[in-house]
Structure 1
């Protein structure tokens, strides 16, 4: 757990830092001969970085201090701060914090701001603590999950965290922000929470997906101060002109960097109000694309000045989130979190240093993950011993041969466009239609063992047979399953229960893909390489069933998210995101033209 006060120099450290800077004591480490990112100007400086213990003592001209206990030659390379991920859900990496550190630190990401809303829903306040705790060198600051469960009138949810606990945590030294909130919540409770965050001088993380004009204005007026959902230049400018920091997301759901940096002239006014986040990015994508290093490569490839691209990953988030007195800039008394980059465009550090110690070399960690898994983090999938035979049944009106249904169409990552579809009725039950890719989807309570199930229909997965099931429906981490037939859906859910949580793909009565995630049903207990390999195999198995989505498991986990337009699905039923109320799946009247889409305004 990273408490900000623990990172500033102690009185004894401060005495030595000053003595080293003054030339009266020998530095512990000097990074020599590199071009150093200036802390206060957009320049590359010919400087040596002089380090005392955990902290930077000073920056001197090359060769000014002749002696040090250790030296690292950075000649021909650049020296920059460690990268900051400004908004991350570690649960969606499918790794524990310690394994994420082994994967991401050698690639340059040394600090993450973490919203543990998934863990909060499974384990309560203990889960929030678990997600910001590691013995590895990765710095983890908390974005306090605001409501658990998110909407008690719409979901059973899992754990319950009292409002007073949330408000108290806003004052904790490990806290950077209030986590992302529901833009449609105007309750007295949420207003009090926003006021508490403002009083505690915490930023408030926004979730403004598809919001504009009055709905956006009303949300930002609560004190919401950043947004990671802006996916067009117009959205970026609308928000930054209202004072918001834009945290550009490159996740396993969608990568906003190409569409935002493609027109540099248009986005230029906002460039110094940008930082980066992975949000929801699984281990496979982190290992193949990278973490915050991926954002920088993308930005530079589209013509962003490298100095500015690196500032977006370091200084700009540090200053905005009020961390810059400790990290994010290379300056005296700051933590010696830095890296040596041989090629600015490639963004592949030769050395990653955290608190004055080398923790990554040439893409590999030089530390072990010694974090322990408490017993309470396991065995969290609580389903009935036998699922009801009719658990996925959608019963048609008596005598109907066809019905109209309200369905969701996936687009642009996790957005769902509402549309109407015609489906056949067989033996009184509504069936999926693989020809038009309208498949049954269900969310099942896995916290209380009730078998309460919400059912809908979705287009976009493309399965021609089989089913896919997960234990990570956002936000409450219930079971979500989509399939071409009820029998396959049932088999997939039963396999989830047997393996204690994770991801499953089934076809023709057999399990063809599985990613065990026993830690809360969200994270692997294995090394990150094994998790990434399992994801790759599971994705391939799902693609063989006709699925067109590159990362089907993580996309499935967001179909139920009821704060993203147009529709959401919980274990209690189908939800209209705009009204935050339940709506019927079966529509009245005769079946009409299949595939009619409702107009709910402009979509990204």
Structure 2
């Protein structure tokens, strides 16, 4: 499959350049390059016609005065552009900013989650991804959520499935409903398979037998392996396995140690993903960082690079366009200082140098991009106010944090004073219609109040040591605008503006990374014990993670769906 088909004229020129009958647009003269097909570092001429590679080999063709001739240094090497196979482009950064950051790190293409776009934009999400495709130098393809937002909208689902920028369904979080016989979900999954799309799983801690049933349904890959044994389960059952190195699951080094030298692990069916890192982890968990970790763990250089190039291109059927340095492929590749340093010095994207000496050749007009983003992502929240009397405990079951994202229920005595590790937590509907209230344990004892519009459900999270503190911080958030606002016990305040849909910054990656880095640092200073507080805020309302969550249906147990407490309408309090 070709992402960007040639016009007839481009096709004709490509063949003419490949045969030496027409001069190339770009000539990398006698360059060292990694041949991922043979596993060798080779040296030869690389000729580019338009946006594609026309020729790779020893023969020297005539150039023209318009040919850009590049002679790299002897130590430098050309490698295929990297592919991020599993991205979440709305993690406080916006999709455009995500693409800029990825291209700087040599990732020429990412496969992206459309769930946030569906929640924020609805049917306008299609026009957004089309405009993004036109203005971004990074290439975006998308997966189509089919088990959450689009559950009741078969027409919208079919529209996404037919779109040329959509190549996958997923990530499939509600698989347990399928195994329990959910007919509607089965039919939607059948639509995906009939459209000949890949389906990505979400299978953390799932048994071999259940993965077998899910594989039978057509799920082709999964990114939730927690150890080498999990990887082997997936490979045995015919799935591809993406090894994850994310800000909340930095498992890659341990997984690599577990599979090193074991012949059962077919690395041709393994990929690498950062799974949507927080902004301040985007470099630490970049594809270059992952490739380097693989080499340090004992994988050969070619094995490590294949995990981020040829393997995802093969899995997604994009091998005619990407994955290697060969004729007919898109001229999307990286120039490295050496094979041991995967972070690129130069990046060519579709025949144009976008990064040179690690600097953007054509930096975006940030003000214009921000203006464009604001036309799509408007504040979805209806500002509402609360008074302490409206915040009343509902039962005696609270949420205890096990780590950044995993929770468990615990019991407290309603009406009793908070313990040192406890805070009140309220979920306020984005339309201001209802609230849900309980306690949270193990969050951050030095935080007197926190308000966040950044949540998986799009509702506002309010956490505080007193009902009055919750009301006060909500009022200030209404005045400042959407984002994250924190009051610390020492009187310090911290505000992170997220004006795009209440969940994303309009700034560049450096700006949002510095803000989130400071937020994480301050939170840890004030009692937060885990790695990434932003993900804790995001996932307290996520329906696919164990064990107890808050949502529009109430405080409930994920495993069996039991509702412990229901939301209360504000006009009834």
Instruction: Specify the alignment match of 1:108 in structure 2.
Output: 106
SS at match of 2:255: helix
SS at match of 1:124: helix
Instruction: Specify the alignment match of 1:504 in structure 2.
Output: 485
Answer yes or no: is 1:467 the counterpart of 2:432. Answer: no
Contact between 1:96 and 1:523, CA under 8 Å: does it hold in 2? yes
CA pair 260-407 structure 1, distance change in 2 beyond 3 A: same
Instruction: Specify the alignment match of 1:14 in structure 2.
Output: 11
Instruction: Specify the alignment match of 2:569 in structure 1.
Output: none
Residues in 2 aligned to 1:226 and 1:484: alpha-carbon distance in whole angstroms:
43
Contact between 2:455 and 2:503, CA under 8 Å: does it hold in 1? no
Contact between 1:34 and 1:76, CA under 8 Å: does it hold in 2? no
CA pair 47-544 structure 1, distance change in 2 beyond 3 A: same
CA pair 169-337 structure 1, distance change in 2 beyond 3 A: same
Contact between 1:433 and 1:484, CA under 8 Å: does it hold in 2? no
Answer yes or no: is 1:119 the counterpart of 2:117. Answer: yes
1:204-353 superposed matches below 5 A: 204-263=199-258, 264-266=260-262, 269-286=265-282, 288-353=283-348
- Aligned-residue offset at 1:190: 1.3
Displacement over 4 Å in runs of 4+: 508-511
Larger helix fraction of residues: 2
Using the size of structure 2 for normalisation, the TM-score is: 0.90
CA pair 393-270 structure 1, distance change in 2 beyond 3 A: farther
CA distances 1:440-473 after superposition (whole Å, capped 9, x unpaired): 3333211x221x2233444443333323332232
Instruction: Specify the alignment match of 1:401 in structure 2.
Output: none
Residues in 2 aligned to 1:496 and 1:568: alpha-carbon distance in whole angstroms:
23
Given candidates 425, 435, 446, the residue that maps to 1:441 is 425
Residues in 2 aligned to 1:380 and 1:491: alpha-carbon distance in whole angstroms:
21
Instruction: Specify the alignment match of 2:570 in structure 1.
Output: none
- Aligned-residue offset at 1:279: 1.8
Instruction: Specify the alignment match of 1:23 in structure 2.
Output: 20
- Aligned-residue offset at 1:72: 2.0
Instruction: Specify the alignment match of 1:594 in structure 2.
Output: none
Instruction: Specify the alignment match of 1:601 in structure 2.
Output: none
Using the size of structure 1 for normalisation, the TM-score is: 0.85
1:522-561 superposed matches below 5 A: 522-561=503-542
Instruction: Specify the alignment match of 2:571 in structure 1.
Output: none
CA pair 373-569 structure 1, distance change in 2 beyond 3 A: same
Contact between 1:301 and 1:345, CA under 8 Å: does it hold in 2? no
Residues in 2 aligned to 1:582 and 1:150: alpha-carbon distance in whole angstroms:
23
- Deviating more after overlay: 142-151 vs 68-77: 142-151
Gaps of 5+ in 1: 152-160, 397-403, 586-604
1:174-185 superposed matches below 5 A: 174-181=165-172, 182-185=174-177
Task: Compute the RMSD of aligned alpha carbons.
Answer: 2.5
What is the count of residue pairs matched by the alignment?
551
Answer yes or no: is 1:420 the counterpart of 2:418. Answer: no
SS at match of 1:67: coil
Gaps of 5+ in 2: 567-573
CA pair 406-284 structure 1, distance change in 2 beyond 3 A: closer
CA pair 472-60 structure 1, distance change in 2 beyond 3 A: same
CA distances 1:264-317 after superposition (whole Å, capped 9, x unpaired): 13486142211122222122211x415222211221221221111111101100
SS at match of 1:224: coil
SS at match of 1:265: coil
CA pair 231-460 structure 1, distance change in 2 beyond 3 A: farther
SS at match of 1:322: coil
Instruction: Specify the alignment match of 2:160 in structure 1.
Output: 169
